[in-house]
Amino acid sequence: MITASTSVFGGLILAFIFSLLYKNKKTRIPAEIDRVRTGGFLAHIRAFGCRLGTRVDDIRNGYNKFNKNGKPFVIQDSTFIPQVVIPPQYLGWLKEQPEKALSAETVRLEQLGLRYLVPSSDPEMVHLLTDVVCRYLTRNFQRVQERLYEELHMSTDEIMGLEATEWRQICLHEAMETILRRMISCVLIGLPWCRDEECLKSWTGFLHCMAIAGTILGAVTPWFLRPLLGLLLKPPVGYMRRRSLRYLTPIFTERWKKIEKHEKSSLTTRELPDDFVTWCIQEVRNGAAEVTMLDLLSADPTIGYWEKLVEEATTAFRTDEDWIHAGTVSKLAYTDSAIRESLRRNPFSIRNVTREVIGKDGLTLPSGTRLPQGTWITTALANIHHDARFYSNPTEYQPFRFVARDAFHTEGKEGSEKVLQPSEAILTSTIDERLLTFGYGRRACPGRWFASHILKMLIAYITINYDIQPLTGPPKKVKFADFTVPSPSIKIIVRRKNLAYLRQRER
């Protein structure tokens, strides 16, 4: 029989063991680096016990007190991993560090839980898939553009409806996820699999399972408990993985046979499927739509942001021929700016650009402080995005702040309208030290061009073809640990624009 005293004694033993693990961990951050909280091991214990929400406050306080003065600081959280938050001034230095000194890969394996959930994950394969995205996907938009438009057209009409006489209520999260899933799948696995609901459910189910398990392991669980918890979470993840492979393995096998045939010169390049799986084998692999739509729909409708996007989209896409030409998407400067602004205001995580010091001799910061091997370096993503030094009125929603300064103005403000050239806009896919949503440096997200491309297509298609009622208040959000996402239960009310309007647009 377990008594209260036994429970207390057991808890003390566990605390003692954890303390030993903490003290014996080889990484000891130098004392000269400022701390937001003091208390060492006990500070981590407080972070682990019902105080997950305080890490947002801790990082904000540390950023305002230390980072704004050009100084790094230490953040203590439930993972027990020593982390140093560097100021924006250090990003140029971080970008120049070689992979043998600072590793993004070891962090990825821990943050996503891959080390414990999919231990066979091959770092070389990750590098290969990254290279595939950079070299092939971003250079072949035109070859997949017609397929992207076809899936966008079919899935959006199916989900949002074709009835122009009445309004209908839809779940925004489900609508955006389904449309984007089908668009991405048409490139990832090609026809007919991208329209096979069971196939799509199998691999998206695996991704969702991995995301949940990975978040629990990587964002909350102390590093020394991850192997044990990983044993408990691995079976359901493995089941979902095997379920998805029942569909994907035949696809890979078919592509492999066609590639072998192609290499023997019995198949022309035109006959070879131009999908992502093919590109991967030949090389031997965010909620952004939701937050953009929610920001636009919750903004003051009298300002005319939505109408400006409608005007831009209808000017760019007059016929189906415009839709199947990839270059047309580059004309959507206002749409691109709206996406970028929503990514600035609604970062998925409060931290990003995280690296681990892997050199045996450690690494010296620009300040001269030497960090030992095993230290994590990160940035206060959300705070940089809301820093008045980088953005005027950072808390204010300005969807067109990234286009030319005088390209848009509201009533009562001076300004002049002009034709905006794509080269004048700061694009969503652009990486700089003020917007870190897609990462920074050599390990920035390789798929950001593709993500930006399909997001602009989606928003343009919706603004052209649908009316949407504005939201009556700020959208609800769900927060957990480092992450903030729109509530998946948010509903919007939509109606197809009438045929007469659409025909008038095409003239």
Which amino acid is located at 126 in the chain? Answer: V
What 3-state class would DSSP assign to 401?
A: coil
pLDDT band at 410 (very low <50, low <70, confident <90, very high): very low
Does pLDDT of 281 surpass 60?
A: no
Q: Of all residues in the chain, what percent are helix, strand and coil, respectively (each to 5)? A: 55, 10, 35
Contacts 24+ apart (CB under 8 A), 277-282: 277/188, 277/189, 277/190, 277/251, 277/252, 279/132, 279/136, 279/137, 280/128, 280/129, 280/132, 281/252, 281/255, 281/256
Q: How far apart are the first and last CA of the chain?
A: 83
Average pLDDT, stretch 310-319? 95
Does pLDDT of 507 surpass 80?
A: no
| Measured distance CA(401)–CA(341) in Å, rounded | 7
Q: Is residue 34 part of a domain?
A: no
Domain of residue 463 covers 123-285+287-506
What 3-state class would DSSP assign to 466?
A: strand
Percent of the chain with pLDDT over 70: 71
30 neighbors 369 (Cβ within 8 angstroms): yes
Q: Is residue 199 part of a domain?
A: yes
Residue stretches of the annotated binding site: 445
Q: Is residue 10 part of a domain?
A: no
| Measured distance CA(90)–CA(73) in Å, rounded | 12
Does pLDDT of 244 surpass 50?
A: yes
User: Which residue, among 155, 160, 221, has the nearest Cα to 186 in the 3D structure?
Assistant: 155
Q: Is residue 60 part of a domain?
A: no
Average pLDDT, stretch 461-484? 89
Q: Identify the residue whose tokens are 């839980």.
A: 113
Which backbone phi and psi does 209 adopt, to 5 degrees?
A: -60, -40
Which amino acid is located at 198 in the chain? Answer: E
Does pLDDT of 71 surpass 70?
A: yes
Does pLDDT of 188 surpass 70?
A: yes
Neighbours of 265 (CB within 10 A): 7
Element containing residue 493 per DSSP (H, E)? strand 491-496
Per-chain mean pLDDT for the chain: 78
pLDDT at residue number 266: 54
Average pLDDT, stretch 232-249? 86
130 neighbors 123 (Cβ within 8 angstroms): no
Q: Identify the residue whose tokens are 């052209």.
A: 464
Q: Exposed e or buried b for every residue in 211-240, given b needs 16+ CB within 10 A?
A: eebbbbbbbbbbeebbeebbeebbeebeeb
Q: Is residue 8 part of a domain?
A: no
Tokens, residue 448: 């950001």
Tokens, residue 322: 């415009």
The total number of structural domains that make up the chain: 1
pLDDT band at 197 (very low <50, low <70, confident <90, very high): confident
Q: Is residue 181 part of a domain?
A: yes
| Measured distance CA(397)–CA(489) in Å, rounded | 23
Q: Exposed e or buried b for every residue in 92-126, given b needs 16+ CB within 10 A?
A: eebbebeeebbbbbbbbbbbbbbbbbbeeeeeeeb
Residue stretches of the annotated binding site for heme: 445
| Measured distance CA(352)–CA(427) in Å, rounded | 20
pLDDT at residue number 442: 62
Q: Is residue 470 part of a domain?
A: yes
Does pLDDT of 444 surpass 70?
A: no
67 neighbors 90 (Cβ within 8 angstroms): no
Q: Is residue 461 part of a domain?
A: yes
Q: Is the pTM of this model over 0.95?
A: no
Query: Helix 41-48 crosses helix 54-65 at what angle (to 10 degrees)?
Result: 130
pLDDT at residue number 214: 86
- Domain of 493, CATH number, reads 1.10.630.10
pLDDT at residue number 224: 85
